[in-house]
Amino acid sequence: MLMTGCTEINEEITKDSEGFWNQYIVYPLSWLITYVAEATGENYGLAIIVVTLIIRFAILPLMIKQTRSSKAMQALQPEMQALREKYSSKDQKTQQKLQQETMALFQKHGVNPLAGCFPLIIQMPILIGFYHAIMRTREIAEHNFLWFDLGDKDPYYLLPLIAGVTTFIQQKMMMAGNAQQNPQMAMMLWLMPIMIVVFAITFPAALSLYWVVGNLFMIAQTYFIKGPELKEATGKSGGAKK
């Protein structure tokens, strides 16, 4: 019910737009973009950058919590794999025992397997709402920034390429040595940047600008959160090559 407004992507957002999604998520974000633009001399490109950073800083605690939860789950993977091998039988009693042992393992280490999901649930409506705000705010499409019109595609395709490259770098940093252990993650490492480039070529440049700024923030965030981990993974990679 919350996301029913997603079907209104081509309708302009105004203070008169109806529905919870429009009134409490999309319009406030659209208003914030417009407010920052007016404060910076009608510079809607700069406004998108500023509001993107505001949102990213606002949800940073959630991102840190999600990253820590993922790291905790990753640390338990060897023990969880040992339990799966121990209780490999598919009969119901064995599977129940596996679930009990797994839950006991989580309790022993103070890990909540759902803890990484809650921050994501909170983040997604905000990020999708910001995407809607950019696409549905009429004033954005009427202005330009740097070499491109915000309402049209990037004529030189620079933003889509930068969006794809920064997506790849950000995902590479997040995976930090795990892609080789998980073929699906390795595939997503290449698939996601390609998808982003395709979408960015199709959508207005304002959205590509949002993706680029968000990716650059995520790269910096990942570096500060996972710095030692990244250095360790780089060291192992260099040692393997030697």
Distance, CA of 25 to CA of 125 (rounded, Å): 8
Does the pTM surpass 0.75? The reply is no
Identify whether the C-beta of residue 51 lies closer than 8 Å to the C-beta of residue 33: yes
67-82: pLDDT as tens digits: 777 777 777 778 888 8
88-105: pLDDT as tens digits: 777 777 778 888 888 888
Distance, CA of 49 to CA of 123 (rounded, Å): 18
Give the other-Cβ count within 10 Å of 93's Cβ. Answer: 9
Predicted local confidence at residue 48, as pLDDT:
92
- What secondary structure letter does DSSP report for 12? P
Predicted local confidence at residue 182, as pLDDT:
58
- What's the chain's Rg over C-alpha atoms? 22
**C-alpha dihedral (92, 98, 101, 103), degrees to nearest 10:** -90
Under the banding of pLDDT at 50, 70 and 90, the label for residue 3 is very low
167-191: pLDDT as tens digits: 888 888 777 655 455 566 677 778 8
Predicted local confidence at residue 170, as pLDDT:
83
If you average pLDDT over residues 60-73, what whole number do you get? 76
Give the other-Cβ count within 10 Å of 112's Cβ. Answer: 13
- For the residues of 120-178, what is the DSSP string, one character each? HHHHHHHHHHHHHHHHH-HHHHT-EETTEETTS--TT-HHHHHHHHHHHHHHHHHHTT-
Predicted local confidence at residue 45, as pLDDT:
92
Which helix (H) or strand (E) segment holds residue 178: the answer is: none
